[in-house]
Structure 1
Amino acid sequence: MQLHDRLYTLYDEFDTESLRAHQEFVDLAPPVDSPVALQYWESASDELAAHKDEIRAAFPAHDAFADVAARATRDQAFTALDLYGKYGRAVNVLVLDVDETLRSAGSTDNEIPRATLHLLTEFHEAGVPIVICTGQTLENVKGFLSQGLGNELVHSGRLSVVYEAGTGVFTPGHGADTKRLLYEDLGDDVRGVFDDVRSRVHTAAPEDIRRGCHLQGNEFNVTLKPNYETGSERARGLIDSALVHLLGLLADCVGADPAAVRAYYADADPEIAAVVAASSAAVGDADALGEAAAETLSRIDVGYYEGDAAEIASRELNKVVGVQAALDVLGVADPFALVMGDSKSDLRVMEHVDDHDSGIAAAPEHASTRVLEHVATTDELVFDAGAADEILRTAWALAQFA
């Protein structure tokens, strides 16, 4: 009988839903100093072990089935089996965005759910390194990681943080390599562009942008965010205007025709092209850029996130560069990564692992359009908002099959 057929039998003939309920209770409700609570936990633990033994006895040639059924639904298990058939290997490193990926403002109150945190500890205990890849500052990330995952895991030597979207990499427990500042090699000419744009981004902006947007970012990133509900009509209009404003400032900084700069970035990104076309701003010919301006712009990325943000960032400081540095410190020589994220900065990492056959990608259902298009054309690993554990369970099942 084929493995797929045996898996069908497993989920058809055994109460896997109860098995997963017992596993979740044992995982997330450890024994406490209460005789009643301890009794409940011990009873659930005994029942869990009995369920697993029953499955192992029914499938002696497939010892992994019990652990797969204890954590993965039927759909997750079959997706994992398909991934194993396609790639023939397990995920050996997790590359994870935080905001709107591991946690969601709308569905998890900006907290990483306990089920997700527990699964991360399970991967860690199985020897799988974790790379947290975020636009947040290092201090913000260190705080919630220590609280959620515990200092022992954070300082185990198998966790790395790519922070501020690639500005630096923090990998506790690696001596001189614990902190790598990736911006140290960035040229003064590019730094000068960010300094200039940041100094004028509000003072030179139209009144609606001055009043309706706030500034985020660092020395190598300038981001305008709306002061209104993300995704609302008002926020969308503001961010569209902010994008055109940033392109104009970039043109001033590099001494180029604003219409040519708009054309340069519109040619590279259809979403930017649509915003510029809908505005009253003229679009010229990107070939009209001077050689010096074109060289500088080739090192500066413009990001547009509908109703959420417009930004400029250094192409030399991005999540791909940060992840590669993290993997180097962690000693992952032959990565097969699970990359989870929702934004275009995450998309670059997804495209990188796809181009190099070194991983798979997953995204929440509310991710940016281009991210969802990439995921749809690879392995269709889309999960509900705030439910990153859905994909982690699939990756766990993949590991058991492998």
Structure 2
Amino acid sequence: MEQYDLLYRLYEDSEAETLRELQNFVDLFPPVDSRIALDYWQDASDELEARKDEIRSSFAAGKTYAEIAARATRDQTFTALDLHSKYGRAVNALVLDVDETLRSAGRTDNEIPRDTLHLLTEFHEAGVPIVICTGQTLENVKGFTIQGLGNELVHSGTVSIVYEAGTGVFTPGHGSTTKQLLYEELDEAVREVFSEVRSRVLPQAPDDLRESVHLQGNEFNITLKPNFDIGSDPAAEVIDRGLVYLVDLLGGAVAAAVEGVDVDDGEEWSRAYYAAADPEVADVLAAEGAAPESEADDVPDEVSALFDRIDVAYYHADAAEIGSLELNKPNGVRAALDVLDVTDPFVLVMGDSKSDLRVMEWADEADAGIAAAPEHASEDVLAHVRDTDELVYDRGDAASMLRIAYVLNLLDER
């Protein structure tokens, strides 16, 4: 209660909003070649320090409280206090999805905002490792990460990139473990299935479907995306049809990879297995007139064992995909944390999709962290986040969650 009262007094007695505005200006002031502008920046910096000095002299933990007031709103600070009361730990690594998490096509013009990037550098300077966890290729994510955070930070040895949803992990500055190709651990049967599906997915698609979708992903993550605005009715229609097509294609490939079974039964087995595994998939299959006539228990054990290793994911009006369950974000994150020598993780996981949900669930089940998501995340993700710590933030405003985590760490230092 003493901590609560002190923080309450901090926001009652100090002009915290002005303090934050000054801090943001000093932190984010663009590089300019103007004496007048630089003088203005210096005046703001001097005023910021003067206001912080007042807080430093008013509280026993004044240095910490001055930083808290300059970095976070009252609500953000008390959220951080609640988290610290619940877990009693600081965040010792960030695990961050990129698209629609750190940046948003609908709110930030698909750029990571400057305040978010600056907060990431603040965590870096505080010694908190950063794991970028994305479905994108390594080349893409390295490019915008270096552009946003700088080459020196990315190659500092405390930044890791889990790319292509767990296919590989790239951690610069770690010698032989700098690049880990996790797909090399897959056996031949799984490789054959994905090779077969990828080779057939577009060439053998019905003409109307092939003209309405495009292919994303990698060798072990095959994703159909709509050639329409995500969330629109045409996108919903084509992704529903695409899901049925992928499920059937996968069934044929799995049956062909298992000796002694009838390949013609593969589609029915696949529909039965994945309908039983995911109610959303079952609903789409039923709506498309493709509901299975058999039960998951009717699938031969050898076929079911291979299905057990392959995921089918559905995102309404957004994507239909299959991926290897052995090449996933949780396994990639664990590999990254191992290289970064985070032996007792308590991470902040931020993401919006079902692949991010698996990382969140791992962190929850292992008592290894907390989860946050933007308000437009998938329903499953939002349900998990609301059931744990209710850390939901506005679209494009990842900085608000990073500020909460930053204050959590400041409180833990006291």
TM-score, normalised with respect to structure 1: 0.98
> Structure 1 counterpart of 2:52, which letter?
K
Instruction: Report 1:266-281 matches (<5 A).
Output: 266-281=275-290
Instruction: Report 1:1-16 matches (<5 A).
Output: 2-16=2-16
* In structure 2, distance between residues paired with 1:198 and 1:177: 29
Are 1:260 and 2:269 an aligned pair?
yes
Instruction: Report 1:334-373 matches (<5 A).
Output: 334-373=344-383
1:143 is paired with a residue whose SS is helix
Task: Point out 4+ residue stretches in structure 1 off by more than 3 angstroms.
Answer: 30-33
Q: Is the 8 A contact 2:254 2:266 kept in 1?
A: no
- Summarize the Cα distance change of 1:223–1:42 in structure 2 as closer, same or farther, 3 Å threshold: same
Residue of structure 2 in register with 1:143 after alignment: 143
Are 1:309 and 2:312 an aligned pair?
no
Q: Is the 8 A contact 2:92 2:345 kept in 1?
A: yes
Are 1:94 and 2:104 an aligned pair?
no
* In structure 2, distance between residues paired with 1:257 and 1:336: 43
**CA apart distance, 1:315:** 0.5
Instruction: Report 1:117-136 matches (<5 A).
Output: 117-136=117-136
Q: Is the 8 A contact 1:161 1:170 kept in 2?
A: yes
Q: Is the 8 A contact 1:257 1:289 kept in 2?
A: no
> Structure 1 counterpart of 2:357, which letter?
L
Q: Is the 8 A contact 1:260 1:287 kept in 2?
A: no
Residue of structure 2 in register with 1:298 after alignment: 308
Comparing 59-68 with 166-175, which one deviates more in the overlay? 59-68
1:362 is paired with a residue whose SS is strand
* In structure 2, distance between residues paired with 1:121 and 1:140: 20
* In structure 1, distance between residues paired with 2:126 and 2:61: 22
* In structure 2, distance between residues paired with 1:122 and 1:148: 14
> Structure 2 counterpart of 1:260, which letter?
W
Instruction: Report 1:151-230 matches (<5 A).
Output: 151-230=151-230
Deviations 1:142-193 (A, max 9, x none): 1111111001101100000000000100000011111111011111111111
2:45 is paired with a residue whose SS is helix
Q: Is the 8 A contact 2:136 2:217 kept in 1?
A: no
Q: Is the 8 A contact 1:98 1:133 kept in 2?
A: yes
Residue of structure 2 in register with 1:38 after alignment: 38
1:58 is paired with a residue whose SS is coil
TM-score, normalised with respect to structure 2: 0.95
Residue of structure 1 in register with 2:261 after alignment: none
Deviations 1:27-46 (A, max 9, x none): 01166432111111111111
**CA apart distance, 1:224:** 0.4
* In structure 2, distance between residues paired with 1:183 and 1:300: 13
Are 1:247 and 2:256 an aligned pair?
no
* In structure 2, distance between residues paired with 1:282 and 1:50: 69
Are 1:28 and 2:28 an aligned pair?
yes
2:165 is paired with a residue whose SS is coil
> Structure 2 counterpart of 1:281, which letter?
A
Residue of structure 2 in register with 1:282 after alignment: 291
* In structure 2, distance between residues paired with 1:149 and 1:64: 26
**CA apart distance, 1:140:** 0.5
Q: Is the 8 A contact 2:190 2:306 kept in 1?
A: yes
> Structure 2 counterpart of 1:140, which letter?
N
Q: Is the 8 A contact 1:212 1:226 kept in 2?
A: yes
**CA apart distance, 1:111:** 0.6
Q: Is the 8 A contact 2:101 2:374 kept in 1?
A: yes
2:217 is paired with a residue whose SS is strand
Q: Is the 8 A contact 2:329 2:359 kept in 1?
A: yes
> Structure 2 counterpart of 1:348, which letter?
R
Q: Is the 8 A contact 1:16 1:70 kept in 2?
A: yes
* In structure 1, distance between residues paired with 2:31 and 2:109: 26
The runs of 5 or more residues in structure 2 that have no matched partner are 256-264
> Structure 2 counterpart of 1:344, which letter?
K
Counting matched residue pairs gives 402
Comparing 61-70 with 21-30, which one deviates more in the overlay? 61-70
Q: Is the 8 A contact 2:282 2:291 kept in 1?
A: no
1:313 is paired with a residue whose SS is strand
The runs of 5 or more residues in structure 1 that have no matched partner are none
CA RMSD of aligned residues (A): 1.2
**CA apart distance, 1:257:** 4.2
Q: Is the 8 A contact 2:131 2:159 kept in 1?
A: yes
Deviations 1:239-275 (A, max 9, x none): 1111111111111112244233222112222221221
* In structure 1, distance between residues paired with 2:69 and 2:79: 13
Identity %: 66
> Structure 1 counterpart of 2:311, which letter?
D
Deviations 1:67-102 (A, max 9, x none): 111010111000000000000011000000011111
Q: Is the 8 A contact 1:31 1:38 kept in 2?
A: no
* In structure 2, distance between residues paired with 1:228 and 1:358: 39
Q: Is the 8 A contact 2:23 2:70 kept in 1?
A: yes
* In structure 1, distance between residues paired with 2:51 and 2:66: 8
1:165 is paired with a residue whose SS is helix
* In structure 2, distance between residues paired with 1:41 and 1:80: 30
Deviations 1:263-314 (A, max 9, x none): 2112222221221222201322011111111111111011111111100000
**CA apart distance, 1:55:** 1.3
Residue of structure 1 in register with 2:395 after alignment: 385
Are 1:396 and 2:386 an aligned pair?
no
> Structure 2 counterpart of 1:138, which letter?
L
Residue of structure 1 in register with 2:258 after alignment: none
Instruction: Report 1:13-92 matches (<5 A).
Output: 13-29=13-29, 32-92=32-92
